[in-house]
Amino acid sequence: MTDELRELSAAGALRRIEAGDLSPDEVFDAHADAVAGERLNAFLWRAEPGSATGGGGLGGLPIAIKDLFCTEGIETTAGSRILEGYRPPYTATAVARLLDAGARVVGKTNMDEFAMGSSNENSGYGPVLNPWDEGRVPGGSSGGSAAAVAGRLAPWAIGTDTGGSIRQPASLCGIVGLKPTYGAISRYGMVAFASSLDQCGPLTRTVTDAAILLRALVGRDPCDSTSVGIPGGVELPAREDLTGIRFGVARDFSHHAEGVEPGVAATFERSLDVIARAGGEVVDVELPHAGHGISAYYVIAPAEASANLARYDGVRFGLRAAGDGDLLTMYERTRSTGFGAEVKRRIMLGTYALSSGYYDAYYGRAQRVRTRIVEDFAGAFESCDLIVTPTSPSVAFELGAKSADPLSMYLSDYFTVPMSLAGIPAISIPAGLAEPAGGGPQLPVGLQIAAPAFAESELLDAAHALEQAIEFDAAPPRGAGDG
């Protein structure tokens, strides 16, 4: 019975709760028990079964929260040893909105430290395992949230996306992940990585679930002056075919791009066929600067991170490394002990790019490339409604496969970074299964669909119709994450 409850989509559970044939506590406890014994290392904090009660629109359903969101009185680490034991004095607006709507937190999910990574191997608390194959990564940085939803440890989750951190793990775990338009959801209480790019979003098993969660999350927040909500609101998807929708494909920024695995390319081509069969039109578009997205991103995001992470200095909260010496020595020792290798690398990169003599060549130039990318999308959307790409160039890779080569890891976000730089919404939905480049059992492949800013309702509507047409019904081996 409890296994069956964990197979329900959130919308399915809500329908049964509303009809009175399911108690929210049963659903919560089934997941809380699974979370308590999980073996994917997907959670850093776990709720007790039977804890708290809920109601309202989200029906008391359990939700997994990426450990980047501050939760009052509950440990919030951002995946970093520098925040081990930190109990924030306030709750992030996104989480508060979910609690107000009746959701219950079943756990806080593991992640790449400060959301910097594409494999979850950069967590200060050990890597998360992919429920499809425990020898492989779940993607990152919201890898714990993606593994939890795919592994049936939570019906849904929230994560954050700076350059692909919701969409790429959703793709590698065979679930749905949405990065909303920048500004749709408040960033207040979200541990900051790159403030001009960071955005909260849902990870779910269906597009409808993503829409339900998005609707609860969006809104202007006086505590985040960059938040604007979604002016037209969020409609639940209802569309059944793709008639009249033009899907743009940019040749150089699609399955033909360098480094795309053959299995991913073939799955993408099949998705284009499905789009045509469902009544959609596939049109050629050009995104001439999208291929430069990674270069611009790896200047802009580290530059912002180097400023945001200056606050971890051992004075007001978090770790202070023990030892003698003056104030500067304490700062340096604390930061060197508390930060992991990737975080140090990005702080170094960002500090270098902003340092005297290099600012114009790196940061200034990257911001101009960002303008070009914004213009590319605006131009493309004149001749199409949505743009499709593979979400990730590869299926889930083996643990350790890319950890010695930062650049190859960064290229995992090749297709997701440009949308982040342009601030537009993009969703990844499961498109099928494909064999990894090195052979082996088939693994999930994601399809990314991007829309103009604030067109979430249209994006979700089309993604829903496409989801029905693709009919992806594969799941990780039953009980994959259970201890």
Q: Indicate which residues carry an active-site annotation.
A: 66, 141, 165
Q: Counting contacts by CB under 8 A, is residue 329 touching other proteins?
A: yes
Measured from the CB atom, the residue of 156 and 188 that comes closer to other proteins is 188
Amino acid identity, position 90:
Y
> Smallest distance, Å, CB 347 to other proteins?
5
Asked whether the beta carbons of 300 and 314 are under 8 A apart, the reply is no
- Choosing from 52, 238, 276, 310, the residue that interacts with other proteins (CB under 8 A) is 310
Measured from the CB atom, the residue of 81 and 333 that comes closer to other proteins is 333
Task: Considering only residues 75 through 114, tell me which ones interact with other proteins, judged by CB under 8 A.
Answer: 86-90
- Choosing from 406, 433, 437, 475, the residue that interacts with other proteins (CB under 8 A) is 406
Measured from the CB atom, the residue of 146 and 178 that comes closer to other proteins is 178
Asked whether the beta carbons of 285 and 249 are under 8 A apart, the reply is yes
Asked whether the beta carbons of 69 and 63 are under 8 A apart, the reply is no
> Smallest distance, Å, CB 313 to other proteins?
7
DSSP 129: P
Asked whether the beta carbons of 414 and 256 are under 8 A apart, the reply is no
Measured from the CB atom, the residue of 103 and 228 that comes closer to other proteins is 228
* Dihedral pair phi/psi, residue 281, rounded to 5°: -115, 130
- Choosing from 137, 153, 330, 388, the residue that interacts with other proteins (CB under 8 A) is 330
CA–CA separation, 32 vs 37, rounded Å? 9
Q: Counting contacts by CB under 8 A, is residue 250 touching other proteins?
A: no
CA–CA separation, 27 vs 17, rounded Å? 9
**Number of amino acids touching other proteins (CB under 8 A):** 71
**In the beta sheet, which residues pair with residue 446?**
430
The candidate with the shortest Cα–Cα distance to 448, out of 223, 179, 227, is: 179
- Choosing from 70, 260, 287, 299, the residue that interacts with other proteins (CB under 8 A) is 299
CA-CA distances (angstroms) from residue 408 to 60, 403, 443? 42, 9, 20
**In the beta sheet, which residues pair with residue 390?**
447
> Smallest distance, Å, CB 414 to other proteins?
11
- The 335-354 contact track toward other proteins, x by CB under 8 A, reads xx--x-x--xx-xxx-xx--
- Choosing from 332, 398, 435, 482, the residue that interacts with other proteins (CB under 8 A) is 332
Amino acid identity, position 186:
S
**In the beta sheet, which residues pair with residue 281?**
246
Helix, strand, coil distribution of the chain in percent, nearest 5? 40, 15, 45
Q: Counting contacts by CB under 8 A, is residue 318 touching other proteins?
A: yes
**In terms of DSSP bridges, do strands 281-285 and 246-250 run parallel, antiparallel, or are they unpaired?**
parallel
Taking the mean position of all CA atoms in its chain, how far away is CA 455?
19
SS3 160: strand
- Choosing from 28, 43, 132, 298, the residue that interacts with other proteins (CB under 8 A) is 298
Task: Considering only residues 272 through 291, tell me which ones interact with other proteins, judged by CB under 8 A.
Answer: 289
Count of helix runs (H) and strand runs (E) in the chain: 15, 11
Q: Counting contacts by CB under 8 A, is residue 264 touching other proteins?
A: no
| DSSP H/E element including 83 | none
Asked whether the beta carbons of 64 and 97 are under 8 A apart, the reply is no
> Smallest distance, Å, CB 130 to other proteins?
26
Q: Counting contacts by CB under 8 A, is residue 325 touching other proteins?
A: yes
Q: Counting contacts by CB under 8 A, is residue 1 touching other proteins?
A: no
Q: Counting contacts by CB under 8 A, is residue 469 touching other proteins?
A: no
Task: Considering only residues 372 through 401, tell me which ones interact with other proteins, judged by CB under 8 A.
Answer: 372, 374
CA–CA separation, 145 vs 282, rounded Å? 32
The candidate with the shortest Cα–Cα distance to 64, out of 150, 160, 177, 148, is: 148
Amino acid identity, position 296:
A
Q: Counting contacts by CB under 8 A, is residue 331 touching other proteins?
A: yes
- Choosing from 9, 36, 81, 317, the residue that interacts with other proteins (CB under 8 A) is 317
- Choosing from 74, 129, 154, 369, the residue that interacts with other proteins (CB under 8 A) is 369
Choices 1-9, 248-256, 317-325, 429-437; region in contact with other proteins by CB under 8 A: 317-325
Task: Considering only residues 183 through 222, tell me which ones interact with other proteins, judged by CB under 8 A.
Answer: 183, 196, 222
Asked whether the beta carbons of 271 and 470 are under 8 A apart, the reply is yes
Choices 60-68, 111-119, 168-176, 332-340; region in contact with other proteins by CB under 8 A: 332-340
- Choosing from 422, 450, 455, 463, the residue that interacts with other proteins (CB under 8 A) is 422
Q: Counting contacts by CB under 8 A, is residue 253 touching other proteins?
A: no
- Choosing from 294, 301, 387, 417, the residue that interacts with other proteins (CB under 8 A) is 294
Q: Counting contacts by CB under 8 A, is residue 468 touching other proteins?
A: no
> Smallest distance, Å, CB 295 to other proteins?
5
Choices 142-150, 237-245, 268-276, 322-330; region in contact with other proteins by CB under 8 A: 322-330
Alpha helices, H only, 278-340:
293-308, 327-338
Measured from the CB atom, the residue of 135 and 231 that comes closer to other proteins is 231
Alpha helices, H only, 81-137:
93-100
Q: Which residues contact 327 (CB under 8 A, 6 or more apart)?
A: none
Task: Considering only residues 125 through 184, tell me which ones interact with other proteins, judged by CB under 8 A.
Answer: 181-183
Tokens of 256: 């033909």
